[in-house]
Every structure is written in structure tokens, then in C-alpha cells.
């Protein structure tokens, strides 16, 4: 989903009443970022609290290329990484992932080998259908047992867009919450539905209901599901003891076309780019009785902060033998403090640092949307948003004279201002990086 897909952030199509209510009951974070503009590395960053260039989800076979783990790639999350559920287990938390994993499909990389106690979902996205022994359809697992495949036992109609997957994922999440509540067991639920990823799908009750075609229908169903989860917490009487955070893994994929892509609001470009549309995400924190209702924090924050923040809320010290990039947001969430406001945001594409944001200023050291070859094939990461000298189709370096934008005045990154050097940030950041081998050369 994109930043601009939520009504509370300006989407006029009225598809997200539950998320809008969640924001009204909690805290909206308009300056929240992913760690990479692509699925796999951003998810690795969420679960490790570390930049992809630290946790291995990047590739060195081409400059500024994002690492990705589709079915034919054999790599996955490093055994040296310490994932959030592994840490939460120290305090007795039971952890479940529902939906898309995307950190490796071979047995040693799957969720139950990396700290999760339960899993219902798939190792990869729902691409397909495939029909060959060399490339079978993506499997769906219930814990360690394969229970079917996409387009077979778990149908997705590519023509109509109909699929019941989100409803299945919702029931899995609700059942897990009920069982842990009845057992009086602390729990961590990572609910990772992927209906808004092309090929977009929704169940029959939502198809044709939105003003934005099939994509809007999928958004409506995800919004409904989140509303059901929050309502279930209230029904069970555990809402005041449950911290809930909503966000996305990357910006809306504008290259997917008008019926299968969302909105990144006023921001430039989308998924796979390090412009704002690719990395700024919708974000809502909800915890009745703890997070003040209707608050908005303009704190610069990152998906990696959820690792450190979750550990702080669980009373667990973070690993101290490795650098973490996530910060503890509890002062912001619980006290509405501004003590973290000076932290920078680093925009990586592959293992290249493309840009840095500090305060309202963003400096691009490299620009690149996508290649001329892709553009000639009709693949455009920035459709209708070409900005000369900014959305370049060749990788262009600006290290000696960075392109600088004031995001408060120019959120669309259209009008560079006088160069501003953030070299003190780079000189402090780069020596700290010790990059492991990436999980794949492909």
C-alpha cells in the first residue's frame, strides 16, 4: 500500500474507515519510512532492526539493485541474524506470522526455523499461475506442512481478481489471538496479507465495491480485516494490553498500472525507487490507554524502529554485540516526546546509499528511477511524474554536489535548492557498516 491510500492521509475514495478510526484512536506518523523500496529487504529490516546492507538483503551483481527473493533464488535470511520473535521468546512470547514471508523459500530459511512458533502463509508472493515442473505454483504452508499451492487449492482468479485469501488470513489471525488470550500467553502476531500486491485480489464481497477498481477493492478488504482484528481485541478485553502498529513494506507499485496500483499521495515515484513515493509509508500506532487519542507525530521514524520499540515494550534488552539501526520510539509514542527528531533517514538501493534525510532536508547522492531498456518495454516506476534531472533513467551520481530538496515545501522533489552538505552524517554512518555476503548473486 502507498502513503496516499488512507483517507486520513488524503485519499478521497473512502476505502479505509477502520484505519482512519485507528488513527483517530491512536497516533498517526506521517514521516515514517521503510528501510528499502522492495518487499524482501524491507521485511528483513523489520524483523532484524537492521539496514538490508547489514543483514545481507542486497546484491552486488549490479550497482544500486535491490535484492529480491523470488522462487528461483536459493538464498534467504542469514542464520547470524537475530529476528524479533527469537528475542521475544526470552519473555515467553508465542509468535505467529500470517501471510507473506519472503525471506527465503528453502527449509532453513522458513519462519519456524527463525523464531516463529506458528505460520500460515507462503514463502513468496502470489505470482503465477505457473504450470511446469521447473516452476510450480507457490506453496502455502500451515506451520511446516504444505497444505496447497496458489492457483490450485488456494484459488486466485486472474481474470476477475476473486480470491478468499484475505479472509483466510483474517481468520488465522483471529484464531491465534483467541488461543493465546485463553491461555493467558503473551503473543506477537505478524499479519502480512498481500492482496494489494499485483496480481491484486479481493474476495467476492468486496469486488466492485470501491471507486478505484480492483486495487481499491483489495484496500477495502484489508481495512475491514484490520477493523475486525481491533474489534476482536476489544471483545476479548485485551485492547489496553496490546500494542498494534500498521504500516506497509514499500510504496505503491505505480508500474503495475491504474487498476493494480495505489497512491503515494504527493510524493514522487513509487516502489523500487528511493524517491519519497518508494519509501515513505502510511503508519499508525494504536494502544488504548497508553497512546493518546488523535495524536500526530512528525518524528522521522523507520520500520526498523519497530524491532527496538517492541523489545522495549516487552522489557527485553536489544542485542548488544551488533549495531542496530532501529531506535526505541516509546518516548514518542507514550510521552509524545521530540527527543529523537534529529535522527537521519538513510535511503538505500542495493548496497548504495542513494540519499539521506535530516529534518526537512533530503540530499540525493545518486538518482535513478529505472533503466531506458525497461522504459522501452513499458515499465515505468514514475508514470506521469518525470522530473528532468531528478527521475533519471541512467544512474547519475551527485556526490560532489547533491540534489537537495526541502520536503516540507516540496514533497514531490521537483525543485532542488542550493546544495546542502550532510557529509558529517555520511562520515559517521559509512565506517559503521560491515556488510555480510548477500543471500544471492541473482
Q: Which residues are catalytic?
A: 39, 102
How far is residue 232 CA from its own chain's centroid? 24
Record the cell numbers describing residue 312, joined without a space: 522495549
Which strand (E) or helix (H) includes residue 362? Answer: strand 361-364
- Provide DSSP, 405-428: EETTT-TT--S-BS----HHHHHH
Which strand (E) or helix (H) includes residue 175? Answer: helix 165-182
Query: How crowded is residue 243: how many other Cβ atoms within 10 Å of its Cβ?
Result: 18
If we measure between CA atoms, which residue out of 210, 169, 209 comes closest to residue 190? 169
Q: What is the largest CA-CA distance in the chain?
A: 60
205-221 burial, b for 16+ CB within 10 Å, e for fewer?
ebbeebebbbbbbbbbb
Is the bond into 293 cis (omega within 30 degrees of 0)?
no
- What whole-number distance in Å separates Cα of residue 101 and Cα of residue 96? 11
If we measure between CA atoms, which residue out of 374, 350, 373, 357 comes closest to residue 411? 357
Amino acid at each position: 500500500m502507498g502513503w496516499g491510500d488512507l483517507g486520513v492521509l488524503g485519499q478521497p475514495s473512502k476505502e479505509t474507515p477502520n484505519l482512519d478510526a485507528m488513527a483517530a484512536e491512536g497516533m498517526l506518523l506521517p514521516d515514517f519510512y521503510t528501510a528499502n523500496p522492495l518487499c524482501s529487504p524491507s521485511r528483513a529490516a523489520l524483523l532484524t532492526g537492521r539496514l538490508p546492507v547489514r543483514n545481507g538483503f542486497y546484491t552486488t551483481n549490479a550497482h544500486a539493485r535491490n535484492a529480491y527473493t523470488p522462487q528461483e533464488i536459493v538464498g534467504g535470511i542469514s542464520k547470524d541474524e537475530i529476528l524479533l520473535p527469537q528475542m521475544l521468546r526470552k519473555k515467553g512470547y508465542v509468535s505467529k506470522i500470517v501471510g507473506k514471508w519472503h525471506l527465503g523459500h528453502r527449509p532453513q530459511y522458513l519462519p519456524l526455523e527463525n523464531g516463529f512458533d506458528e505460520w500460515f502463509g507462503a514463502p513468496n508472493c502470489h505470482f503465477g499461475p505457473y504450470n511446469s515442473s521447473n516452476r510450480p505454483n507457490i506453496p502455502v504452508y500451515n506451520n511446516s506442512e504444505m497444505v496447497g499451492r496458489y492457483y490450485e487449492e488456494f484459488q486466485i482468479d486472474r481474470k476477475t481478481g476473486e480470491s478468499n485469501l484475505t479472509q483466510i488470513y483474517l481468520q488465522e489471525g483471529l484464531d491465534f489471538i483467541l488461543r493465546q488470550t485463553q491461555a493467558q500467553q503473551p503473543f506477537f502476531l505478524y499479519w502480512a496479507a498481500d492482496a494489494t500486491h499485483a496480481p491484486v485480489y479481493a474476495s467476492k464481497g468486496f469486488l466492485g465495491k470501491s471507486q478505484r477498481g480492483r486495487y481499491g477493492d483489495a484496500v477495502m478488504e484489508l481495512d475491514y480485516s484490520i477493523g475486525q482484528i481491533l474489534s476482536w481485541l476489544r471483545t476479548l478485553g485485551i485492547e489496553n494490553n496490546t500494542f498494534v502498529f500498521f504500516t506497509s513494506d514499500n510504496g505503491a507499485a505505480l508500474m503495475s498500472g491504474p487498476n493494480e496500483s495505489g497512491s503515494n499521495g504527493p510524493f514522487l515515484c513509487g516502489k523500487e525507487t528511493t524517491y519519497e513515493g518508494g519509501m515513505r509509508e502510511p503508519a499508525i500506532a494504536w494502544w488504548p490507554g497508553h497512546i493518546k487519542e488523535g495524536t500526530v507525530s512528525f518524528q522521522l521514524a523507520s520500520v526498523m524502529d519497530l524491532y527496538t520499540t517492541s523489545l522495549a515494550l516487552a522489557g527485553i534488552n536489544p542485542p548488544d554485540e551488533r549495531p542496530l539501526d532501529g531506535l526505541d520510539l516509546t518516548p514518542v509514542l507514550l510521552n509524545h516526546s521530540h527527543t529523537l527528531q534529529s535522527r537521519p533517514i538513510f535511503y538505500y538501493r542495493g548496497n548504495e546509499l542513494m540519499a539521506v534525510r535530516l529534518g526537512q532536508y533530503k540530499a540525493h547522492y545518486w538518482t535513478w528511477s529505472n533503466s531506458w531498456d525497461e522504459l522501452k518495454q513499458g515499465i515505468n516506476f514514475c508514470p506521469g511524474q518525470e522530473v528532468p534531472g531528478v527521475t533519471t533513467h541512467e544512474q547519475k551520481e551527485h556526490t560532489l554536489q547533491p540534489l537537495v530538496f526541502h520536503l516540507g515545501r516540496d514533497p514531490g522533489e521537483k525543485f532542488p535548492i542550493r546544495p546542502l552538505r550532510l557529509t558529517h552524517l555520511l562520515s559517521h554512518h559509512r565506517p559503521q557498516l560491515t556488510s555480510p555476503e548477500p543471500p544471492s548473486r541473482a
